[in-house]
């Protein structure tokens, strides 16, 4: 939609695209009303397929953007924290508060997930 966090937008919806000649008594909208909807984007979450094949088996969800545009490269040491949990019921299988990893010395999916993060970023990886 092109909005940024904290942005406030106002949308004007003509009657034929809203409730039309019927209105909506339950909401108190009279017939043939033009609606004005004010929206504030509080937070958004980005989902991205990070597999090289694009098959959707490993999805990254960014919850907090990093504070820098720099990304780790092959051979760089990164300090990570992670939690391995079920998407369905949030059961935690494994969790580590701090671990040092070296980019390029890990499985491809983990390497892709780490390489595209910025310093200070927080992301969930959803593995199907």
- Contact in structure between 121 and 64 (CB atoms under 8 Å): yes
Is the pTM above the cut of 0.75?
no
Of the candidates 45, 46, 49, 47, the residue with the CA atom closest to the CA atom of residue 109: 49
Burial of 66 (0-12, 13-18, 19+ CB in 10 A): middle
99 — pLDDT class (breaks 50, 70, 90): confident
CA–CA dist 73, 41 (Å, integer): 33
Mean confidence (pLDDT) of the chain: 75
Which numeric CATH code is attached to 46-127?
Answer: 3.10.50.40
> pLDDT tens digit string along 2-45?
777 888 999 999 999 999 999 999 999 999 999 999 988 887 76
**Percent of the chain, pLDDT > 90?**
20
Q: Where do the domains of the chain lie?
A: 8-40, 46-127
- Please tell me the predicted confidence (pLDDT) of residue 52: 78
């Amino acid at each position: 939609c092109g909005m940024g966090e904290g942005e406030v937008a106002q949308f004007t919806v003509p009657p034929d695209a809203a409730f039309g000649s019927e209105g909506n008594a339950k909401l108190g909208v009279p017939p043939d009303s033009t609606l004005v909807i004010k929206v504030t984007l509080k937070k958004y979450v980005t989902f991205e397929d990070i597999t090289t094949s694009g098959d959707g088996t490993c999805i990254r969800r960014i919850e907090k953007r990093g504070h820098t545009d720099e990304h780790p490269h092959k051979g760089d040491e990164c300090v990570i924290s992670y939690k391995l949990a079920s998407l369905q019921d949030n059961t935690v299988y494994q969790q580590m508060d701090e671990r040092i990893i070296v980019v390029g010395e890990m499985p491809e999916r983990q390497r892709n997930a780490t390489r595209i993060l910025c310093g200070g970023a927080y992301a969930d990886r959803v593995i199907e």
